[in-house]
Structure 1
Amino acid sequence: MKSTHKKLFFLSFTCFSFLGIQKSHACDSCNFFEYSLLQNKSYFGLFYRYRGFNDYKSYTAVSPNGQSIINYPQQLSLGFTPVDYPTIMHEPEGNNLYVSKSKEDFETYQTIEVRGNITIKNKWNLTAVLPYEFNKIYYQEYLDLPKPSRDTTLFVQGWGDLKLAGDYIWLIYKQKARHTIRPGIAINLPTGQALVKSTNEANSYYDPIIQPGKGAFAFIPRINYQWFLTNQGINAGASYQLSTEGAQNYQMGKSFNAYGIYFHQFNAAENLLLAPNAGFYYEGSDKDLWVNEKQDLTGGKILFAQIGLDLNITQTTFNLVYQYPISQKLNGNQILNDHRISVGLTRSFKL
């Protein structure tokens, strides 16, 4: 197999909006890196990503921070007293809705993503990513006044924001090893569906967190590094995201992502290259802003353990990544991260 087939780049998830009425995620609009198994090759790819959330840090039967019932007008209208709150409840940005947190609650986010990558003269790399989102949130008890409702499912789907990226490719060759350094920047464009209307109230929109698009620009400086020796190597990278204010006066908090993995690749058969890998992925973000006010149930830090496998046959590459949270410190009683899965299929080509 050609030596160029023995170059592996790690796919760090293209995280889009971690959605949900609780604004429950450490990185609401994650940074992304392009993926290419072949060294500096152009490609076209189709990816599927799944992210799940369930469980809470606590199910306290009293109000948070000792707040009085005056701070909870919906609870007052339902006849609750400070000593018999069913659980901590949260009202998202002016939606006039409360959620009773229970073990049965869950959130799932699925994305189908088209990705195109062009390499120019082995020095410059351009990437475009277009996602379509399917977001599902279930609450065992959803307090939509004047009376609570049970077994409530919210479902929103639509086009996410278009993302464009450019990187410079710097190759350093030693006697046996090769170093690849790729500084660059990505931009999130406000092209997605950011004002999908709610089915619960007439002429109102879903919470900005649950929208497929954000209606905002995001700027993501980033850097990727790879050390490669014979048939093994290390990939590492970091990125930082800054977002402008988007639809419904909502602004995502500043976020930071980093990853590091070890990979080993070998020829399983003629023209068949396998490359298993394992490592860690970290993401963290500040609190989001709504009308310039910090949102307490947003932001935090999370560390994932990761395993993956890349399979390459000539110009076609299959990619599988599984991530599981091993540590998460989220602000407030947010719903917790569960596992994530990404599956991709790419076809490389020459210009």
Structure 2
Amino acid sequence: MQKSYACDSCNFFEYSLLQNKSYFGVFYRHRGFNDYKSYSSISSAAQSVLTYPQQLSTTLLPGNYPIIMHEPEGNNLYVQKSKEDFETYQTIEVRGNFTLKNKWNFTAVLPYEFNKVYYEEYLDLPRPSRDTTLFVQGWGDLTLAADYIWMIYNQKSRHTIRPGFAVNLPTGQALIKSDNESANYFDPIIQPGKNAFAFIPRVNYQWFLTNQGINTGLSYQFSTEGAQNYQGGNSFNVYAIYFHQFQATDKVLLAPNAGLYYEASQKDLWNDVKQNLTGGRVAFAQIGLDFNISQTTLNLVFQKPISQQLNGNQILHSGRLSVGIIRNFKL
């Protein structure tokens, strides 16, 4: 009988079977953002001085107007923040996982991204425009990962410790241009790829007792400088999930789970300058369900933010959803 568990991480989207098996899977992931901590307006006189974006992260406009722009800073993109603004990041992800002799686990992840950003008022100087939508799609960066599997058995339970290491390769599309006359590149933060390496040491611990257990893990990601001289800030993730399995029929297994997920990231760098509208901390409550029939599993995960302290007046997390179809096999 195949038993499974899943969790979501911005560093590395993790899916692992409770029994060590190889598998092939297709995932859909959705991340949404809307609302801000505060709203302000900018007068036309203040808009006229928005000419040197690299200065905006640390100064106020004349008349004590607050700085209002989208991250990353310094790309001539200014936004008067509104309740109508939103961002969505959707991913179709193909994943292959191979387990060798119950001791080693190797994973490859290839994403295709659909990123959409909407602003009610977009200050494209000198002529502001309204109802502006930016849409970017393309291949994301390939991820390769390897884990060592260390299992400890006793009469009542099983402990599994999986230290590992993942690498994001600069294979995705990171220099997609907009369709306007100037044909500027889209923001690095909404490009499908980063044109940078990312290195992710991580460890997972799982305790399994009869038909229930706890799955915990943590990871740390640090990246090199990528396209447009932009470098993502280092980030840390940790999660703890409780799961319980129910045998519905001889072939159908249900495994609901619930827990907490936390991530913290440092400020991004643009031309080696910290970007004040990036980075911060957010905690999510998570619920999920695995629906398993023989060798096939449907995986569902939803995360809702319960606390977020972001740097500056960034757009806020609204929720995350993941749906996956996994076919596992034993070699």
Task: Compute the TM-score of the two structures, normalised by the length of structure 1.
Answer: 0.87
Cα distance in structure 2, aligned partners of 1:200 and 1:82: 30
Structure 1 residues 74 and 184: alpha-carbon distance in aligned structure 2, compared to 1, 3 A threshold = closer
State which of 187, 191, 196 in structure 2 corresponds to 1:211. 191
Per-residue CA deviations over 1:47-78 (Å, capped at 9, x if unaligned) read 00011100000013479xxxx98973489xxx
SS in 1 for 2:79: strand
Q: Which residue of 2 aligns with 1:19?
A: none
1:290 aligns with 2:270: yes
Per-residue CA deviations over 1:282-305 (Å, capped at 9, x if unaligned) read 011000001100000000000000
Cα distance in structure 2, aligned partners of 1:162 and 1:239: 18
Q: Which residue of 1 aligns with 2:50?
A: 72
SS in 2 for 1:335: coil
Matches within 5 A, 1:41-120: 41-61=21-41, 72-73=50-51, 82=62, 88-90=67-69, 92-120=72-100
Cα distance in structure 1, aligned partners of 2:312 and 2:151: 44
With 93-102 and 237-246 compared, the bigger mean Cα shift is at 93-102
Q: Which residue of 2 aligns with 1:26?
A: none
Structure 1 residues 69 and 163: alpha-carbon distance in aligned structure 2, compared to 1, 3 A threshold = same
1:227 aligns with 2:222: no
Q: Which residue of 1 aligns with 2:295?
A: 315
State which of 12, 21, 38 in structure 1 corresponds to 2:7. 12
Matches within 5 A, 1:46-195: 46-61=26-41, 72-73=50-51, 82=62, 88-90=67-69, 92-195=72-175
State which of 238, 241, 246 in structure 1 corresponds to 2:226. 246
State which of 261, 267, 273 in structure 2 corresponds to 1:281. 261
Cα distance in structure 2, aligned partners of 1:105 and 1:69: 19
Structure 1 residues 69 and 202: alpha-carbon distance in aligned structure 2, compared to 1, 3 A threshold = closer
RMSD between aligned alpha carbons?
A: 2.1
SS in 2 for 1:322: strand
Q: CA deviation at 1:32?
A: 1.3
Q: Which residue of 2 aligns with 1:22?
A: none
Per-residue CA deviations over 1:53-111 (Å, capped at 9, x if unaligned) read 00000013479xxxx98973489xxxxx85595x7422644322211100100111110
Cα distance in structure 2, aligned partners of 1:206 and 1:333: 21
SS in 1 for 2:14: coil
SS in 1 for 2:189: helix
Q: Tell me, yes or no, if the aligned pair for 1:37 and 1:317 is still in contact at 8 Å.
A: no
State which of 251, 276, 284 in structure 2 corresponds to 1:304. 284
Q: Tell me, yes or no, if the aligned pair for 1:74 and 1:145 is still in contact at 8 Å.
A: no
State which of 282, 290, 314 in structure 2 corresponds to 1:334. 314
Q: CA deviation at 1:203?
A: 3.6
Gaps of 5+ in 2: 54-60
Q: CA deviation at 1:214?
A: 0.2
Q: Tell me, yes or no, if the aligned pair for 2:40 and 2:81 is still in contact at 8 Å.
A: no
1:270 aligns with 2:250: yes
Cα distance in structure 2, aligned partners of 1:41 and 1:274: 18
Q: Tell me, yes or no, if the aligned pair for 1:36 and 1:43 is still in contact at 8 Å.
A: no
Per-residue CA deviations over 1:123-176 (Å, capped at 9, x if unaligned) read 000000000000010000001122110000000000000000000000000110
For 1:242, give the aligned amino acid: F
For 1:315, give the aligned amino acid: Q
Cα distance in structure 1, aligned partners of 2:199 and 2:245: 34
Q: Tell me, yes or no, if the aligned pair for 2:34 and 2:318 is still in contact at 8 Å.
A: yes
Structure 1 residues 279 and 138: alpha-carbon distance in aligned structure 2, compared to 1, 3 A threshold = same
Q: Tell me, yes or no, if the aligned pair for 2:48 and 2:126 is still in contact at 8 Å.
A: no
Task: Compute the TM-score of the two structures, normalised by the length of structure 2.
Answer: 0.92
Q: Tell me, yes or no, if the aligned pair for 1:171 and 1:180 is still in contact at 8 Å.
A: yes
Q: Tell me, yes or no, if the aligned pair for 2:40 and 2:80 is still in contact at 8 Å.
A: no
Q: CA deviation at 1:210?
A: 1.0
SS in 2 for 1:248: helix
For 1:313, give the aligned amino acid: I
For 2:226, give the aligned amino acid: G
SS in 2 for 1:296: coil
**What fraction of aligned residue pairs are identical, expressed as a percent?**
74
